[in-house]
A = this chain, B = another copy of it.
Amino acid sequence: METTGKAILLLHCPDRQGIITEVTGFITRNHGNIVYLDQYVDTIEKRLFMRLEWELAGFAIPRLEIKRAIDAEFEHRYDMYTGVYFSDEKPRMAIFVSKMSHCLYDLLARYRAGEWDVDIPCIVSNHEDLRFVAAQFGIPYHVWEVAPDKSNLAEVEQAEMKLLESERVSFIVLARYMQIIGDRMIERYPHNIINIHHSFLPAFVGAKPYHQAYERGVKIIGATSHYVTRELDAGPIIEQDVVRISHNDTPQSLVLKGRDLEKIVLSRAVSKHIERKILTYKNRTIVFG
């Protein structure tokens, strides 16, 4: 059987002399042709972060054995955390939305244009509003409305997680989903739920950040994409960007300018996640170029 495609290894461990030589030597010795290597040493944490990509054709270790073989070699010796991925296994992405269409359209337009090596099996919402967008792109749209008193929240989340399981979803994108994600889902998808917050975090945490920005009279507004953790708007930041504003701007015009930021900042984070170029450590991300 012909093995094609590439393997991707993400790792981090306490920095010690010779690790790069050891790891690249291991791949080379097993006839893997390394086509990408990026590494970064956090000199404060004294920790090495590394991303390797090599061609599977001719590689001596069968695909399903690779992670085990690498861990057998390095896990204990270097106290190493590893993740192994394959370029021909597309991540499966679920999109959660509420009522605003701009991020959803941007994600789906990129998907349809073939920008991303990803599958989008489903869109989940707490409102019917954007069903027509899902229909335009022929993607199943699932609605679970949450009661005003949130009494059915656990039930809704259980139903959503059942869907995500059955669709073998590997990560979730909250495309301006205006509802808090429950702890069970966060635990099930650790560092696999990407949110877009419509401010330059940590400024303006919480609701109505554009109104907060207007009140404070800032001259620049921003948007932040981050992994969702239990603490609201406090997870590891993946990407941020900003745009200059002036006294001319009203809360309404900030909302419009902000939308454009949200789209680009979310999509950059999704790109990096799909390419498996993000490592997280102590609430900070390492994002390789």
Interface size, chain A (Cβ < 8 Å): 66
Copies of this protein chain in the complex:
4
| Complex contacts, A33 vs chain B, CB 8 Å | 17
Q: With A and B bound together, what is the CA distance between A50 and B43 in angstroms? A: 19
Which residues does chain B contribute within 8 Å of A242, judged by CB atoms? 220, 242
Cα A289 to Cα B244 in complex, Å, equals 12
Q: Bound state CA distance, A13 and B112, in angstroms?
A: 39
Q: Point out the residues of chain B lying under 8 angstroms from A106, CB to CB.
A: 105-106, 109
A-B contact pairs, 21 of them (CB 8 A): A20-B24, A21-B21, A25-B25, A37-B41, A40-B247, A42-B247, A101-B112, A102-B109, A102-B113, A105-B105, A105-B106, A115-B256, A202-B203, A202-B218, A218-B240, A219-B240, A220-B222, A220-B240, A220-B242, A242-B242, A246-B289
B contact residues around A34 at 8 Å (CB): 17, 20
Decide if B44 touches A250 in the complex (CB within 8 Å): yes
Beyond the given pairs A106-B106, A217-B236, 7 more chain A to chain B contacts, judged by CB atoms under 8 angstroms and listed by A's residue number, are A21-B28, A37-B41, A42-B247, A100-B113, A247-B286, A260-B267, A264-B264
